[in-house]
Structure 1
Amino acid sequence: MKYNVREGDYRTMGAVVHSDGVVFTFEGRKEQKCSIVLYEKKTGKIGKIPVPDTYYVGALRSIMVMGIEPASFDYNFEIDGKVMTDPYARRIVGREKWGEKERFGMDYQVKSGFSTDVFDWEEDVAPEIAKKDMVMYKLHVRNFTMEGSNGGARKGTFEAVENRIGYLRDMGVTTVEFMPFYEFEELMIPETCELPDYVTWKEEQKTDTKKLPEVEKINCWGYTEGNYFAPKAAFTKSRQPEHALKSLIKALHKNDMECIMEIYFPDTINQNLMLEALRFWVMEYHVDGFRLMGANLPVRAMAQDLILCRSKLFADTIPEDLLEQDYAYPHLFVYRDEFYYPLRKMLNHKEICLTDFVNQMRKQKKYAGFVNYAASNDGFTLADVFMYSEKHNEANGENNADGNDWNYSDNYGIEGPTRKKYIESLRKKQLRNAITAVFLAQGIPLLAAGDEIGNSQRGNNNAYCQDNAVGWVNWKNDKKYASLQQFVKEMTAFRKAHPVLRMEEPMRMNDYKGLGYPDLSFHCDSAWTVGFSPNRQSVGMLYCGLYADCEEMIYVAYNFHTGKQFLALPKLPKSKKWYKVMDTGNENGFLEKEMKMDAVQVEIAGMSIQILIGK
């Protein structure tokens, strides 16, 4: 293959198609021998085009190759004899089939591809859900859709997720958080293998000391270095993964739902690439935001970037001064596990601290948000929090040494599933308790996929390599946990109907508007008095709806004690009465008919939560 070449354009990384050729720009020092490797699709021929030493600016090399028809070729870069994919490639070729161990054959080479997809976004508009209205749901494209009905779509695909948007919408979800759906290598190969990046030796070199790799595990989650500009080809039945993913995001937007993309950067990744990757997904795929994971993250630069200033950014650490800035569109969110520890401690009576719990329930910032959850993928599922006292990760092949040792879980008498009805009943009540706390907390509620149907991972709290029924959401639980699904729907509706529960500014806990009541107050045996003693496990939290332009008062009675407790009910204006509307001690949670309360105290059964409305 012979092509005319000239110096390229250093302003855009990767492969840029022009009418008369393709410009390839990549990282490479002047002193390194660099080539463009072209793979002709029809003939299988491989050609190399050397990049002249004079084609450089700084640490970049750029060359324009004339006359290339992108649809006919794949490509890679070769630097000092090492062949590598383009970090900015829009498509990756060679991983189209998930977990295909057989692909490591004699001539296997993962390649960079050109994206030829033309997608009509029509009048697509970003939903831009306000933080007070957000309800988040975290899922993995494959694990979420490998079991159950997908509306005719192939399991484990973007199309299957798209067919389940209605399910998420009906549950009240506004914001879907996706675990990595960009390209990554899911086959985990032991580091001891004597291999280059990929096996490429020829037939006559079979006697080479190198040997084909033995795949150790499947890395389902993708928290590893990836190809950050290409959607994962194995997550679609289509030959155009770009089209399938764009269709999913467009469908989410049509249903007034957001797409939040998890993206993991190891500390070896150039920060410029990180920023460019985020900009790319916003502009090319209309992604609404990112959960930033990894190390060496330029969070400040991302938060201040002019293209990303209307993209929601979630991170476990954000500089405090950024959280206090008055943004035209608040877009920064603290996302870490500081909520679920105090909650689990109270629910399962492990190192209880009521003060920590109530502080998490009212945690808020004026210009930034907090994400609250009781379970996530990196730990027990919510059902397993009340089913297992110890982690059971033996199937991961790491002698049960992996995964979090601090789960604050309990099995309530039997490790794992049981037929004992009283244990099953208690576990389901604890699920309702946990979900109630998540949705009544002032921050943003998040559910992990399957938590609404009691999904279990059999005690595995680190199912990153379980590409099987352990790691997949078990939709067979649908009927068994139908009442829990309905409870989640009613909790999302209740939160939406009562804006005082989701105030965007921190509660001041005083009557700063002269309305006769503080915005939030705590109550125990006596109204308006509370003592957070070390052993105390019950409290009433009164929200004055007037601070959110609503006439109703909301009183939430928490009792984490194993026995019943009494909490004082504050007096209401003479025209109002207290009505009980929800009790987690009830199998369905929300009462079919609200119950008028004439007493000055409310009785709460052990390990239960009640909601009363003053109206």
Structure 2
Amino acid sequence: MNFQICSGNQEKAGVTKQKDIISFFVQAAGNSACNLLLYPKDNGPVRKIPMEVQKNDETVYTVGIRGLDWKNYDYNYEINGEEVTDLYARRITGREIWADETRRPREQKAEPFVPEKEKKRMERELPAVNHVSSKQQLREKGTAGKIKSSFYFSDFSWKDKDFRRIKKEDMIIYKLHVRGFSMGMQGTDRRKGTVEAVERKLDYLKELGVTTLLFMPLYEFEEIIMLDKTKVQEHPRDLINYWGYTSGSYFAPKASYLGKNHDPDNLKRLIQKMHEKEMECILEFYFPEKTNPHLIIEVLHYWHREYHVDGFRLMGIPAVAELAALDGGLSGCKLFFESFREELAKDSERFGPLLFTYNDGFLYGVRRSLNHQGGSIHEFACQMRRQQAHQGFVNFIAENNGFTLWDSFSYEHKHNEQNREENRDGNDWNCSGNCGQEGISRKRQVNELRKRQVKNALTVLFFAQGIPMLWMGDECVNSQQGNNNAYCQDNETGWKDWKRSAAGKQMSVYVKQLSGIRKHYSMLRSPRPFQLQDYQNRGCPDLSYHSDGAWKMDFDRNQGFIGMFYSGTYAGMKESLYVAYNFQRVSQKFALPGGMKWKLLLNTAKEPAVPQEPENLMDIREIQVERQSVCLLSGTESAESLPEQELSGKQSGESKSGTKIKGRGR
């Protein structure tokens, strides 16, 4: 071993490299005994190297090594006799194989939890961390398979300096699980379950109109659920933490997701390829309540700097989310959290990341209306125009935590028996429906209604003002057979189905059409809140509500339908849009603003929902919309002016909006 011990870098935690010196920095309580453990990759003798406490900080321990051939070593720390991985490790070895059962303690295989006495016996059986005499002894004691910290010094050459973040009004998010997204692909490609497989499908996602990928946890975590006496037995002992919402090695990407040679550079190649295709990368991070806030900020800085990640969705501590929102080092990033105060978002002296609210308010508001679960048409209208000038809102009707979009209209009740918790887990309040039969059905009428309802939901999602987010597989009617908590389903239940059924192909085409409509008609995705007024004297409000009478809406009646008229003049377009939402189980007449020639662009009651050529409706004044369907019309002003009676009504009505709104107001 041709290396020399020297002083280490005292300024930066973790492992750093300066010329030929590798420095190790760890923090521990004062008067601790700290050692560096070096593990040769050829299973040679383990070296234990004492670390020095710093004179100006008794909690900092460092050591430097000159001439270390770091590519041939792994390492850990020993603190007061307990071996631990490096909190700042850029790479972790020992979890390259997903859900490798050899990592599960053998006592846990036979018992629901590991008793304390067995834990102590297991610890006694671990080999001493001092010099180990032979490879045979290492194999016998099992240290060759333990979890270790590893080195990562990358010379990856980034070529994405021209990439510009995507405006909030142009974003379409697709949320996915790296493994679940690709394990269902046909064939035996070794890349399945890795970021390399995601890279293969970027064109597929781009064709859907997706601009932004939101990844479920990509950091290194233990998917095998380890139980001990401190945990309540909530889950069967041999299930897998498939989703990854747990603590982990936050600076290290998950080795089993990385593909060839488990190289972190493969993740960088994916992100660079995404940037080449003008797509963003957003990562989810779960931090337990007691996580050091400063560590969280360091984690975000590292992924933004090292992996060129474009944003983060934080799960956990509200105070930390606000701290990150104020961090100038994250300027240029996007930050997603359950909610942000508008005062914080619009603070002119805040130079942190762009802020985005991510919660399930839109999901419940829309599902209640679609499934006749006590929905409020007033709440629906508010959700459809949910927007603020200084932050964005993410809208979704399905995500990983709940039913898929198809299952939202196929199951009234959760069916989580496969989780082996007697169906106790998962949310009981789903605002879902089954269209007349629970679960899989052969009835044509049931399946046709389900397809229409999914189209209705997708239409609502893409025509809402906020940012639409699709959950993996919802573009092709993916089902989890009624499981609304697939946290442990590392199988076809939790994977995206790539078999491409006829219904799935049709729905994927429809998603592409919706994203095209949203992109073309900018009034649907205005970055600023609608005022419901003609504040620029354009002749009509920017957005107005209609019912069976033009320019009026009585929210107190809570009828299951509403017409929304988007003025094209406020978007710099000659065309205006009218969207008729009929959630009732009967057809409904909608009154249209006069003085316009109309074209029918979309009707979810028809197949295909989007005709090859728009249907000319001329200057009609009303339209009949079939039950449980949505119609989209475009209108241009006709040569004839508006009738004088209607014009005067717009100018002197009960509301400056031009819409006679009764009840709950705007």
* TM-score scaled by length of structure 2: 0.86
In the TM superposition, residue 328 of structure 1 has moved relative to its aligned partner by 8.0
Provide the residue aligned with 1:364 in structure 2: 387
Partner residue of 1:613 out of 634, 637, 647: 634
Helix, strand or coil at the partner of 2:551? coil
Is residue 194 of structure 2 the alignment partner of residue 157 of structure 1?
yes
Provide the residue aligned with 1:169 in structure 2: 206
Provide the residue aligned with 1:599 in structure 2: 620
In the TM superposition, residue 394 of structure 1 has moved relative to its aligned partner by 1.4
In the TM superposition, residue 416 of structure 1 has moved relative to its aligned partner by 0.8
State the AA in 2 paired with 1:379: G
State the AA in 2 paired with 1:230: A
| 1:453-602 correspondence to structure 2 within 5 Å | 453-572=476-595, 576-597=596-617, 598-602=619-623
**Would you say the 8 A contact 2:331–2:354 is kept in 1?**
yes
**Would you say the 8 A contact 2:159–2:272 is kept in 1?**
no
**Would you say the 8 A contact 2:179–2:192 is kept in 1?**
yes
Provide the residue aligned with 1:272 in structure 2: 294
1:259-295 Cα distance to aligned partner (Å, 9 max, x none) = 0111111112211111111111111101111111122
| 1:430-445 correspondence to structure 2 within 5 Å | 430-445=453-468
In the TM superposition, residue 330 of structure 1 has moved relative to its aligned partner by 7.1
Is residue 317 of structure 2 the alignment partner of residue 295 of structure 1?
yes
Cα pair distance change 1:75/1:55, threshold 3 Å: farther
User: Aligned residue pairs: how many?
Assistant: 593
**Would you say the 8 A contact 2:258–2:264 is kept in 1?**
no
**Would you say the 8 A contact 2:160–2:275 is kept in 1?**
no
Partner residue of 1:374 out of 379, 391, 397: 397
Tell me how far apart the structure 1 counterparts of residues 90 and 62 of structure 2 sit (CA, whole Å).
Answer: 18
Provide the residue aligned with 1:146 in structure 2: 183
Is residue 372 of structure 2 the alignment partner of residue 349 of structure 1?
yes
Tell me how far apart the structure 2 counterparts of residues 405 and 178 of structure 1 sit (CA, whole Å).
Answer: 26
**Would you say the 8 A contact 1:522–1:529 is kept in 2?**
yes
Helix, strand or coil at the partner of 1:260? strand
Tell me how far apart the structure 1 counterparts of residues 64 and 547 of structure 2 sit (CA, whole Å).
Answer: 74
**Would you say the 8 A contact 2:328–2:351 is kept in 1?**
no
Identity of aligned residues (%): 42
**Would you say the 8 A contact 1:137–1:175 is kept in 2?**
yes
Q: Any stretches of 5+ residues in structure 1 without a counterpart?
A: 195-213
In the TM superposition, residue 306 of structure 1 has moved relative to its aligned partner by 2.2
Partner residue of 1:125 out of 151, 162, 166: 162
Partner residue of 1:112 out of 149, 156, 159: 149
Tell me how far apart the structure 2 counterparts of residues 183 and 430 of structure 1 sit (CA, whole Å).
Answer: 39
* TM-score scaled by length of structure 1: 0.93
In the TM superposition, residue 65 of structure 1 has moved relative to its aligned partner by 2.8
Is residue 238 of structure 2 the alignment partner of residue 216 of structure 1?
yes
Helix, strand or coil at the partner of 1:266? coil
Helix, strand or coil at the partner of 1:268? coil
Tell me how far apart the structure 1 counterparts of residues 164 and 423 of structure 2 sit (CA, whole Å).
Answer: 43
Helix, strand or coil at the partner of 2:198? helix
**Would you say the 8 A contact 1:150–1:164 is kept in 2?**
no
Helix, strand or coil at the partner of 2:412? coil
Tell me how far apart the structure 2 counterparts of residues 328 and 127 of structure 1 sit (CA, whole Å).
Answer: 18
Tell me how far apart the structure 1 counterparts of residues 622 and 303 of structure 2 sit (CA, whole Å).
Answer: 54
RMSD of the TM alignment (CA)?
2.0
In the TM superposition, residue 152 of structure 1 has moved relative to its aligned partner by 5.0
Helix, strand or coil at the partner of 2:614? strand
In the TM superposition, residue 8 of structure 1 has moved relative to its aligned partner by 2.6
Provide the residue aligned with 1:205 in structure 2: none
State the AA in 2 paired with 1:613: S
Tell me how far apart the structure 2 counterparts of residues 5 and 328 of structure 1 sit (CA, whole Å).
Answer: 43
Partner residue of 1:310 out of 312, 332, 354: 332
Is residue 251 of structure 2 the alignment partner of residue 229 of structure 1?
yes
1:210-240 Cα distance to aligned partner (Å, 9 max, x none) = xxxx962111111000111111110133224
Q: Any stretches of 5+ residues in structure 2 without a counterpart?
A: 106-141, 637-666
State the AA in 2 paired with 1:591: P
Tell me how far apart the structure 2 counterparts of residues 268 and 329 of structure 1 sit (CA, whole Å).
Answer: 24
Deviating more after overlay: 557-566 vs 589-598: 589-598
Helix, strand or coil at the partner of 1:463? coil
